[in-house]
Amino acid sequence: MIASPNQAGSRPVTVPRAWRTILSVAVLAAVTVAWAALPLSGGAAGTSVTLVVAVGCAAASVAQLLAGSGGKQTEAALGSLVRRTVDYVLTVVRGLPWAEVMVVAVLLLEVLHRPRPWHTGLLGVALLGYLLAVHHAEMRPSARALRAQLPLIATGIGLSAIIVGIAELRAVPGGALSPAIRVIAAIAAVIAVGLVIPWWLRRHR
């Protein structure tokens, strides 16, 4: 088989598709940061600073993707002084792990608020979506590869839901229903893990 740039199948990405992916990253980043920051008045000391850091990192991570997709075209079009400045900024933007810093900042932002398990669970889902979107924008994996991960992601979210449920139950005062719910949660966790293990073993065979 001879693959040429035109025959590379799924990979020659059209510009609108790349822009759509980056747009989805931007939206997910904004949603994640906003969700972790809400309510703005309810946070402990340092919430504002962490929020600023999270917003800055979110913007930088989107800029990183933009710089990766079209940076070289701007370099040729600008004058020498402006070009050097743009080069420096692009190097900084491209070089730092903005997405990682944003993830940590968002988790800190969540910790600075009072415990709210269901809110944290949804935040986890949003963070995972954001990271998958960044990966999609960078690498443009095939739809088949993404579909293959769906059971695993669903299981992970299920586990997360069980853990969040357990955390929520901690706050519920003890009653007649409470032990039954805990047993059901434990069984659900065992089933979820049991579903994953054969799949995991098949992948590592």
CA 171 from chain center: how many Å? 28
Phi, psi of 4, rounded to the nearest 5 degrees: -115, 170
Structure tokens at 187: 């069984």
**DSSP annotation string for 100-121:** HHHHHHHHHHHHTSPP-HHHHH
Quick check: 71 binds another protein (CB under 8 A)?
no
- Rounded CA-CA distance 122/74 in Å is 39
Q: Which residues inside 113-172 make contact with another protein, applying CB under 8 A?
A: 115, 117, 120-121, 123-125, 127-128, 131, 134-135, 138-139, 141-142, 145, 148-149, 152-153, 155-157, 159-164, 166-168, 170
Quick check: 108 binds another protein (CB under 8 A)?
yes
Binding string, residues 26-45; x marks residues near another protein by CB under 8 A: --------------------
> 28 and 133 in contact (C-beta within 8 Å)?
yes
Which residues contact another protein (rule: CB under 8 A)?
Answer: 1-5, 8-12, 97, 99-100, 103-104, 107-108, 110-111, 115, 117, 120-121, 123-125, 127-128, 131, 134-135, 138-139, 141-142, 145, 148-149, 152-153, 155-157, 159-164, 166-168, 170, 196, 200, 203-204
